[in-house]
Amino acid sequence: MSTRSYLTLTRKYKTLLSALHSVYRLIHSSYELTDLASKLTKLLAQIFRADACTFAILDKPKKPRSKRWIVLRCCLTGSRRHISHKRVAVKNKIEQHIIATSAAIKKDRLLASPLISEDMIGTIVISRSRRTCEKEGAFDTYDLEALMTIAGQIVIAIRNIELYQEQEKMVMGTIKSLVRVLDSRMPAGYTHTPYFSRLVTALAQELHLRKEDEVSLKYASMLHDAGKVNIPVEILTKATRLTGKEYDIIKHHPVKGAELFKHMNMLKPVIPIILHHHEKYDGTGYPSRLKKGQIPFGARIMAVADAFDAMVYGRPYKERIDAREAIEEIKKHSGAQFDPQIVKCLIHMYINKKLKKYLNLKPEKI
């Protein structure tokens, strides 16, 4: 082997190792197929110095050799990306050939590989323009082998996401059952609206929380008041001012809530949020009088969402007010009761009408 050939081969192996590392990081940071498809098409186009990349996921066959349909397709061409979740027939000839033969394809300007687990679950097609091909050269056998190696990692990623989603469904089912039991023991009107979790999730997304933190916050939004289940009804429903003793009982409910779930491994990330969602930014809250960054970020989000939900939808002991008034009230307590960053985020969402899924109200300029 000539020195030039050896150096070329060494460069290609280094490129493949780097590519596999990038794919590995990607598959361990993606929790949704759409997110995976979007990031993966861009990454593969970069790795193979290509102009276009198409990632397609197939439906599960009902019978052997039954007709297959695409249920997710992400096409990247240059800087333009298109993602479709429509169930459509496979019309692209390259994809049809891959599905019919379960074989990869290599041409001068095109690479394609099936994604195969127990059966075929999708396809990857990568292509170069004539201009790029003149600059980078034609795809070779090494490029095809590299794509097929990466395709194996992609299959693992897809299966991991499917397992994660199944697990999430099971956990959510368990949590919903718990919530129904807890709500049945709470007086009507003293539980949160169905919109509360939606607001909390919207704030988490706007603040760009990691997917796993967003999920934990969503679970916490459903379970954070579980500790009230053993508080006497006459205290929960009392319309007049609470006595010191009664208020102490109320203040203990975050601790009771955390104790309820401390032995459930799947809810461990949720417990700090439940325990500290009544802390105040200035350190005057309960149960631990934490302040600022000592308070878990999820609990700080919950505090803002909880106050907004209570004001906009009302409670038996408090009349509801409109969203604008609620925003103004929360602004007054920014930096004292609430984290200013989260207050700012809520205001931004309100001004930009990003709370429409939560509120059926017309935002006004703050």
Tokens of 269: 């990330």
* Whether residues 213 and 110 fall in one domain: no
Q: What is the mean pLDDT of residues 98-122?
A: 92
* Whether residues 110 and 151 fall in one domain: yes
* Whether residues 200 and 340 fall in one domain: yes
Residue given tokens 């709370």 in the structure block: 355
* Whether residues 312 and 207 fall in one domain: yes
Burial status of residue 48 (CB atoms within 10 A of its CB: 0-12, 13-18, 19 or more)? buried
Inside any domain, residue 360: no
Q: State how far the Cα of 365 lies from the Cα of 294, in Å rounded to an integer.
A: 33
* Whether residues 216 and 317 fall in one domain: yes
Domain end call among 161, 193, 217: 161
pLDDT tens digit string along 170-196?
Answer: 888 878 887 777 767 666 666 666 688
CATH (domain of 211): 1.10.3210.10
Which residue spans within the chain are E strands per DSSP?
A: 52-58, 69-77, 80-84, 88-89, 105-107, 110-116, 120-127
* Whether residues 329 and 256 fall in one domain: yes
Tokens of 360: 């059926």
Percent of the chain at pLDDT > 70 equals: 87
pLDDT score, position 32: 85
* Whether residues 236 and 301 fall in one domain: yes
pLDDT score, position 79: 85
Q: What is the DSSP letter of 268?
A: G
Tell whether the model's pLDDT for residue 219 goes beyond 70: yes
Inside any domain, residue 361: no
Inside any domain, residue 154: yes
Inside any domain, residue 75: yes
On whether the CB atoms of residues 309 and 327 are closer than 8 A, the answer is: no
Domain that holds residue 240: 185-351
The mean of the pLDDT values for the chain is: 85
* Whether residues 79 and 41 fall in one domain: yes
Inside any domain, residue 265: yes
On whether the CB atoms of residues 55 and 48 are closer than 8 A, the answer is: no
Inside any domain, residue 169: no
Percent of the chain at pLDDT > 90 equals: 46
Q: What is the DSSP letter of 194?
A: T
pLDDT score, position 362: 45
Domain end call among 146, 161, 176: 161
* Whether residues 111 and 260 fall in one domain: no
209-247 residues labelled b (16+ CB within 10 A) or e (exposed): beeebbbbbbbbbbbbbbbbbebeeeebeeeeeeeeebe
* Whether residues 121 and 208 fall in one domain: no
pLDDT score, position 354: 80
Q: State how far the Cα of 83 lies from the Cα of 75, in Å rounded to an integer.
A: 6
Domains: count for the chain:
2
List the end-to-end C-alpha distance of the chain, in Å, as a whole number. 71
* Whether residues 134 and 203 fall in one domain: no
Q: What is the mean pLDDT of residues 138-161?
A: 90
pLDDT score, position 8: 53
CATH (domain of 92): 3.30.450.40
Inside any domain, residue 362: no
Tell whether the model's pLDDT for residue 237 goes beyond 90: no
Inside any domain, residue 178: no
pLDDT score, position 61: 79
pLDDT score, position 363: 43
* Whether residues 230 and 280 fall in one domain: yes
Domain end call among 145, 161, 177: 161
- Residue 112's DSSP bridge partners are 105, 125
**Maximum alpha-carbon separation in the chain:** 90
**Weakest mean pLDDT among 175-179, 284-288, 313-317:** 313-317
Residue with the bigger pLDDT between 353 and 269: it is: 269
Query: pTM for this one?
Result: 0.68
Q: What is the mean pLDDT of residues 244-263?
A: 89
